[in-house]
């Protein structure tokens, strides 16, 4: 029978993006960038966010790419940030239809109509992608923040470097743990928002060295995240607003309760293993995380 530790490693592997998924992301990115390049003066664009940091979980959705605008679009920098997002919405809706395009606080999402099955499989297809308009600002970028009527600074490369540093310090397990943690969040009401907040918290809560086994690591991590849910979590690049700024007191309270429950459930799952009930332990971990946690 599959051991719990082996199940975690299989779980981690299931959440890694394979070549077919990467090829589909590339195709969709190429398609969207072509549409935007016809309508706007685009200096460059590139995939970014958790996809580039290798912390994106499954099902594969909300893949970000930064669309860096050129001199011909600089006049938009003087306007309300929402105007630029609205312009992206108009262009993308002409291509994909009104129902497929959604304006978010800092990006515009295109939904490709792909639906995950009960096991979170999408036949290797990306569900949605988000175009993030940007302007260069020295070595950094500025992106629109519509609800707060401001332009905020960001630097995806710094975020990537921070994630790589954590991965190296944590015996190569940090990114896999973050993917599993985000998968847990997806199957527990997405109580922590944005999912990047979990990644930022993991930078401060997962301390080297790696404990050597996933059950101990996750029980402690869930508890630590719960204890620190009411803290402020600044942008790791030191440029933008706190990543936790939109988590209200009510949201933090709900998230803390969910994390405490997960830590308690992890303790119960570990007890099942200690008492020789391996099959029950696997089912307990699957209940905690969701359908991609294997039972065999």
CATH number at residue 104: 3.30.460.90
Judgement on whether residues 195 and 255 belong to the same structural domain of the protein? yes
Quick count: other Cβ atoms within 10 Å of Cβ 257?
13
Judgement on whether residues 187 and 163 belong to the same structural domain of the protein? yes
Entry pTM: 0.95
The dihedral of CA 132, 109, 243, 178: what is its sign?
negative
Quick count: other Cβ atoms within 10 Å of Cβ 232?
10
From residue 272, alpha-carbon distances to 46, 120, 267, 279 in Å are: 46, 27, 9, 9
167 lies in a domain? yes
Going through 99-155 in order, the beta strands assigned E by DSSP cover: 101-103, 108-111, 128-137, 140-145, 150-154
CA distance 21 to 170: 26
- Looking at 136, 155, 174, which one is the last position of a domain? 155
Instruction: Give the range of the structural domain holding residue 267, as residue numbers without chain letter.
Output: 4-13+158-289
75 class by beta-carbon count within 10 Å (0-12 exposed, 13-18 middle, 19+ buried) = exposed
Per-residue pLDDT of the chain (296 residues; tens, 9 = 90+): 799 999 999 999 999 999 999 999 999 999 999 999 999 999 999 999 999 999 999 999 999 999 999 999 999 999 999 999 999 999 999 999 999 999 999 999 999 999 999 999 999 999 999 999 999 999 999 999 999 899 999 999 999 999 999 999 999 999 999 999 999 999 999 999 999 999 999 999 998 888 889 999 999 999 999 999 999 999 999 999 999 999 999 999 999 999 999 999 999 999 999 999 999 999 999 999 999 999 99
Judgement on whether residues 179 and 146 belong to the same structural domain of the protein? no
Q: Do residues 64 and 129 lie in contact, with contact meaning Cβ atoms separated by under 8 Å? A: yes
């Amino acid at each position: 029978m599959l051991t719990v530790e082996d199940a975690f490693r299989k779980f981690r592997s299931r959440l890694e993006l394979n070549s077919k998924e990467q090829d589909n992301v590339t195709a969709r990115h190429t398609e969207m960038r072509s549409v935007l390049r016809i309508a706007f003066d685009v200096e460059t664009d590139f995939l970014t966010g958790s996809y580039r940091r290798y912390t994106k979980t499954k099902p594969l959705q909300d893949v970000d790419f930064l669309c860096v605008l050129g001199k011909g679009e600089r006049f938009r920098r003087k306007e309300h940030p929402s105007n630029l997002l609205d312009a992206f919405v108009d262009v993308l809706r002409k291509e994909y239809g009104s129902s497929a395009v959604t304006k978010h606080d800092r990006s515009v999402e295109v939904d490709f109509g792909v639906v995950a099955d009960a096991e979170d499989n999408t036949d290797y297809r990306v569900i949605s992608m988000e175009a993030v308009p940007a302007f260069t600002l020295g070595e950094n970028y500025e992106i629109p923040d519509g609800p707060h009527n401001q332009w905020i600074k960001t630097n995806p490369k710094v975020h990537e470097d921070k994630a790589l540093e954590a991965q190296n310090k944590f015996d190569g397990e940090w990114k896999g743990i973050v993917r599993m943690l985000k998968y847990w969040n997806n199957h527990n009401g997405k109580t922590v928002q944005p999912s990047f907040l979990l990644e930022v918290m993991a930078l401060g809560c997962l301390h080297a060295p790696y404990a050597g086994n996933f059950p101990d690591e996750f029980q402690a991590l869930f508890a630590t995240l719960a204890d620190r849910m009411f803290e402020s979590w600044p942008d790791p690049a030191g440029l933008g607003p706190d990543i936790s700024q939109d988590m209200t007191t009510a949201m933090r309270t709900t998230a803390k309760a969910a994390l405490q429950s997960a830590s308690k459930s992890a303790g119960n799952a570990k007890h099942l293993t200690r008492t020789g009930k391996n099959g029950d332990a696997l089912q307990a971990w699957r209940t905690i995380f969701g359908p991609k946690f294997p039972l065999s």
